[in-house]
Amino acid sequence: MYNLSEILGKAKAAKPVLAKLGTDAKNEALLLVADELKKSHDEIIKANKVDLLNAEANGMSPALIDRLKLTEERIEGIAEGVRQVAALPDPIGEVLSMWKRPNGLTIGEKRVPMGVIAIIYESRPNVTVDSFALTFKAGNAVILRGGSDCINSNIALVSVIKRALSEKGITEDAVSLVEDTDRKYAEELMKANGFVDLLIPRGGAGLISSVVMNATVPVIETGTGNCHIYVDKSADINMAVRIIRNAKLQRLGVCNACESLVIHRDIADLAIPLIASDLASDEVEIRGDEASCEISNIVTPASEEDYGTEYLAKIISAKVVDDIDEAIAHINKYSTGHSESIITNDYESAQKFLDEIDSACVYVNASTRFTDGFMFGFGAEIGISTQKLHARGPMGLKALTSTKYIIYGNGQIRD
Amino acid sequence: MYNLSEILGKAKAAKPVLAKLGTDAKNEALLLVADELKKSHDEIIKANKVDLLNAEANGMSPALIDRLKLTEERIEGIAEGVRQVAALPDPIGEVLSMWKRPNGLTIGEKRVPMGVIAIIYESRPNVTVDSFALTFKAGNAVILRGGSDCINSNIALVSVIKRALSEKGITEDAVSLVEDTDRKYAEELMKANGFVDLLIPRGGAGLISSVVMNATVPVIETGTGNCHIYVDKSADINMAVRIIRNAKLQRLGVCNACESLVIHRDIADLAIPLIASDLASDEVEIRGDEASCEISNIVTPASEEDYGTEYLAKIISAKVVDDIDEAIAHINKYSTGHSESIITNDYESAQKFLDEIDSACVYVNASTRFTDGFMFGFGAEIGISTQKLHARGPMGLKALTSTKYIIYGNGQIRD
């Protein structure tokens, strides 16, 4: 029987050691990890080949097999990602604020590591390295539980990371891989209260919902995005067409892609034919309400279910509304709280949309595809939170930290 | 059958309305709630009488009955608490930071309400009003699930609050009480994903652990405190005696009371007899390791279990250590991550303790009793978080908020 408790215990024991690591020590270790990854590409590609052969034997789709595949170039890309994390400012130790109370106590709020972070993810081996780099830079120990499809690649990658850490005299327990991908160990990880300070699921809707419903440790829900673009009556229609094309088509399988359109009735006759023919020219299927079907025969009837669907494919829903209030109500009803955008030239509409849409990222006149830690300037991203607790929207290094109060006294007692 | 879904639906529907309420509207409603509470004391006390009679019939202890009891004076105290919340700055709408990206996008992080907050608590009716005032001020709808012991008091209090809200033209769904205290509705609340944005348990260790283990909605774990005071070898012994007395005895049944002592061996011969006799003079039982038993015959032998116990009573554990590293290791092993204090005059020891103790609040030369939203200057407190996600330590109004990104573009698309 596989012993997850040992991993949990070791990760917990590593916490104080990792919290004390200086910025230079962390950055030097990350740079060595990057070098070692590059140097070890033969070893990594060999392990990856086993995963690829298994995937083919299991009938995995070519698109998924491609996501799984590691090449020398891709490994160099992963290593470069680690170098970029090394170059980011260290979030740990920052004192966010400090104040003095009338009784003389001086209270400071200091940024500290979260502790032990567990990541449950699917079949992309780059997530393994990426998750280690970010959690390590923020002073945490990480426990990785990737999918069974890339287990051999993951074992090779984590062994390279451990080797580099060890060479720098840093505890190898900074990173652990759950090598037995039996579901029961993932579930044990979800319930490891007292050991896991934060659990982040990275993957599809099924994985995320299973983690949210089963975990008893603190979780950040990431990901699913039924993102809307609302074309207001004062919209620049050409801008709307351009932004919708970008948000739907620039990359299909991502959580910040646009899945749903909402169009003001006063502009629908002009806007829908242009938007529809532009999207149709790239084989996007448009499923709309009665009004939009009447305006354009490219549009096919939508079901109620369509409005709530994250397609991640060349399909988009469309709905015509009488005013911005109906648009906002529709969006707040069907969205997953990820990213929504209004195309408008009306000041009041823009402000109202920003105020009243209840999503992590709310845009005026821009593509929803910008919801991303790199695009936001965070220099990194561990995921996009769609919950309101702790972090909302793209999560960079700071989302992987906590704070503590440090209080300087000189004998104060409470009356 | 009781219909919790209806309450959940109404609270969710109230979110956008409450999020839009201006500061003046919220404050005026809170002041009216305070006035109405004061005016309605007869009605409230009458309902409370029913709870008191039931409690007596059920053989509740006099101490608990006293906690349950409402008097005109206590109701005025509760109303005064509401007025204080009205006087606090409104956290909603603050833009924490705003920056411009090279592509011209301007990104701001804005503080918004959490949404629907559920509170599960025990038998103190003041928590009902207090929880409403804080969550309402931060723009949230609140669902209250108090204990069965104070259900009649709670129904009366919530009805007074609803009356005042209604008089001000504010939706009564800002506050809901789960009137059927059957455990199954509390459990339904814990699993109301998509409706409850945050669940806060307020009460004893049993309640909190049951919520943490059963909830699938985001939770903030509050409360239990096995707080330590470490007497370093350079401590001012008189200061240590004074602070330990305050932290143990100023109030017994609170989470920030000191439950465990750790004493440096070099000062143990001097410190333990003084501390022990001071505590013993107030009937505090001291349970210590072999070394402390040898030093003072007041000290009785501690079991392993004692080091991990939150007594909330006139008992304290004691342990002698060889150095500060052993002290820190002992504390990090047994503490609940709430509040710990070092008594020292050594600069390095003070810094080391602040750095290495993994607790929400870490003190130098002060009583742990200061871990409190009011003592910290937050003007309010909804609880003390002992988890690392979202909020850690005393939680004021800001802990009841989330943020969202607002992004101003002028046609940006992603390359």
**How far, in whole angstroms, is CA A262 from its chain's centroid?**
25
Cβ contact, residue pair A409, B239, below 8 Å: no
Residue range B120-140, pLDDT digits in tens:
998 789 999 999 999 999 999
Distance CA B72, CA A77 (A): 70
Strand ranges (DSSP E) for B92-151?
A: 95-100, 106-113, 116-121, 141-145
Tell whether the model's pLDDT for residue A66 goes beyond 80.
yes
Cβ pair B392:A402 closer than 8 A: yes
In Å, how far is A339's CA from the nearest CA of chain B?
9
Cβ contact A358–B332 (<8 Å):
no
| CB of A358 less than 8 A from some CB of B | yes
Partners of A247 on chain B (C-beta within 8 Å) are 413
The pLDDT, as a whole number, for residue A1 is 62
Do residue B107 and residue A377 have CB atoms under 8 angstroms apart?
Answer: yes
pLDDT of residue B225: 92
| Contact criterion met (CB < 8 Å) for A412 and B193 | no
Mean pLDDT of B259-278: 98
- Find, among A270, A273, A274, A306, the residue nearest to A287 by Cα: A306
- Is B115 near chain A, with CB under 8 Å? yes
Q: Flag whether residue A364 sits within 8 Å of chain B, measured between CB atoms.
A: yes
Evaluate if residue A294 carries a pLDDT over 70.
yes
SS3 B227: strand
Stated as kind and residue range, the H or E segment containing A339 is: strand A339-343
Q: Which of A46, A84, A41, A14 is nearest to A380 (CA)?
A: A84
* Nearest CB to A413 within list B367, B390, B404: B367
* Beta carbons within 8 Å of B159's beta carbon, 6+ residues apart: none
Mutate to test the interface with A, among B209, B362, B374, B412 (most CBs of A within 10 A): B412
The mean pLDDT value of chain B amounts to: 96
Give, as one character, the DSSP assignment of residue A369.
G
Query: What span, in angstroms and rounded, lies between the C-alpha atoms of A311 and A336?
Result: 13
Tokens of B372: 């409190």
Taking CB atoms and an 8 Å cut-off, how many pairs form between chains A and B? 204
Does B200 have pLDDT greater than 70?
yes
Nearest C-alpha in B relative to A109: B361
**Cβ B361–A246 below 8 Å, yes or no?**
no
Whether the predicted pLDDT of B254 surpasses 70: yes
pLDDT per position as a tens digit, A31-55: 999 999 999 999 999 999 999 999 9
Closest partner CB to A105 (pick from B236, B366, B388): B366
> Which of B112, B215, B377 is closest, CB to CB, to A99?
B377
- Contact call for residues A211 and A204 (beta carbons, < 8 A): no
Q: What is the pTM of this model?
A: 0.92
Does B16 contact A at CB distance below 8 Å?
A: yes
Nearest chain A Cα to B362, which residue? A406
User: Above 90 in pLDDT, residue A253?
Assistant: no
**Which residues are A189's β-sheet partners?**
none
* pLDDT tens for each residue of B343-379: 999 999 999 999 999 999 999 999 999 999 999 999 8
Per-residue pLDDT reduced to its tens digit, A217-230: 999 988 789 999 99
Within 8 A by CB and 6+ apart from A239, the residues are A343, A365, B411
DSSP state of B397: G
Tell me: ipTM over 0.90.
yes
pLDDT > 90: what percent of chain A? 94
Distances B9 to A166, A226, A329, B13, B169 between C-alpha atoms, Å: 54, 21, 15, 6, 20
Q: Which two tokens stand for residue B389?
A: 């996600």
Residues of A in contact with B220 (CB under 8 A): 389
Nearest neighbour of A212 by CB, restricted to B193, B213, B408: B193
In angstroms, what separates the C-alpha of A216 from chain B's closest C-alpha? 5
Record: contact A411-B107, CB cut-off 8 A? no
Q: Is B98 touching A (CB cutoff 8 A)?
A: no
Those residues whose C-beta lies under 8 Å from the C-beta of residue B194, and which sit 6 or more positions away, are: none
Q: Is B388 within 8 Å of A198 when comparing Cβ atoms?
A: yes
Q: Is A356 on the interface with B (CB under 8 A)?
A: yes
Distance between start and end Cα atoms, chain A: 56
Chain A residues within an 8 Å CB radius of B366: 105, 407, 409-413
User: Min CA distance, B146 vs chain A (Å)?
Assistant: 22
How does residue A363 score in pLDDT terms, banded at 50, 70 and 90? Answer: very high
Chain B residues closer than 8 Å to A198 by CB: 388-389
* Separation in Å, CA of A135 to nearest CA in chain B: 15
How far apart (Å, rounded) are the C-alpha atoms in residues B108 and B96? 7
Q: A388 is written with which tokens? A: 């309101």
C-alpha span between A326 and A50 (Å, rounded): 53
B204: pLDDT confidence band, cut at 50, 70 and 90?
A: confident
- Closest by CA position to B35, among listed B90, B83, B85: B83
Residue B318 in contact with residue B302, Cβ under 8 Å? Answer: yes
Question: Of A322, A201, A189, A297, whose CA–CA distance to A255 is shortest?
Answer: A201
Q: Is the pLDDT of residue B1 over 70?
A: no
A105 inside 8 A of chain B by CB: yes
Which residues of chain B have a CB within 8 Å of the CB of A208?
none
From chain A, the residues in CB contact with B392 under 8 A are: 402-405
Q: Which residues of B touch A403 (CB under 8 A)?
A: 392-393
Residue B380 contacts residue B85 (beta carbons within 8 Å): yes
Judge whether B216 and B190 are in contact, CB under 8 Å: yes
Within an 8 Å CB–CB cutoff, is residue A352 touching chain B?
no
- Can you tell me the distance from the alpha carbon of A256 to that of A248, in angstroms, rounded to the nearest whole number? 9
Phi/psi for B275 (5° steps) reads: -65, -45
d(CA B358, CA A402): 11
- A3 versus B196: the higher-pLDDT residue is B196
Residue B3 CB-half CA count within 13 A:
4
Task: Please give the average per-residue pLDDT across A307-317, as a whole number.
Answer: 96
Statement: residue B247 has pLDDT above 80: yes
**What SS3 state is found at B273?**
helix
> pLDDT-derived band of residue B298, with 50, 70 and 90 as boundaries?
very high
On the question of pLDDT at A401 being above 90, the answer is yes
| CA A67 – CA B245 distance, rounded (Å) | 63
**Around B219, how many Cα atoms within 13 Å sit in the side-chain half-sphere?**
30
B327 token code pair: 């002290």
The reported pLDDT for the residue numbered A198 is 96
Give me the percent of chain B exceeding a pLDDT of 90. 94
CA dist A340 to A377, A399, B409, Å? Answer: 19, 22, 13
Burial label for A308, CB within 10 Å (0-12, 13-18, 19+), is middle
Task: Determine which of B20, B94, B404, B408 to mutate to test the interface with A (most A C-beta atoms within 10 Å).
Answer: B404
Interface of A with B in 271-330 (CB under 8 A): none
Are the Cβ atoms of B367 and A405 closer than 8 angstroms? Answer: no
Long-range contacts of A274-281 (CB under 8 A, 24+ apart): A274/A237, A274/A241, A275/A231, A275/A240, A275/A241, A275/A244, A276/A318, A278/A241, A278/A244, A278/A245, A279/A244, A279/A245, A279/A248, A279/A249, A279/A316
Q: What is the pLDDT of residue B275?
A: 98
pLDDT digits (tens, 9 = 90+) for A4-33: 999 999 999 999 999 999 999 999 999 999
Tens of pLDDT, residues B64-73: 899 899 999 9
Q: Is A289 left (phi over 0), alpha (psi -120 to 50) or beta?
A: beta
Name the pLDDT band for B319 (thresholds 50, 70, 90).
very high
Burial of B163 from C-beta contacts in 10 A (0-12 / 13-18 / 19+): middle
Mean pLDDT of B197-216: 92
d(CA B315, CA B366): 20
A37 interface with B at CB cutoff 8 Å: no
Q: Residue A412 carries which side chain, given as an amino acid letter?
A: Q
pLDDT class of B100 with cuts at 50, 70, 90: very high
Residue B2 has pLDDT above 80, yes or no: no
Pair of tokens at residue A35: 């070098």
Mean pLDDT of B313-335: 97
Nearest chain A residue to B345 by CA: give it.
Answer: A410
Which pLDDT tens digit goes with each residue over A123-173? 789 999 999 999 999 999 999 999 999 999 999 999 999 999 999 999 999
Contacts A115 to B, Cβ<8 Å: 358, 388
pLDDT at B224: 85
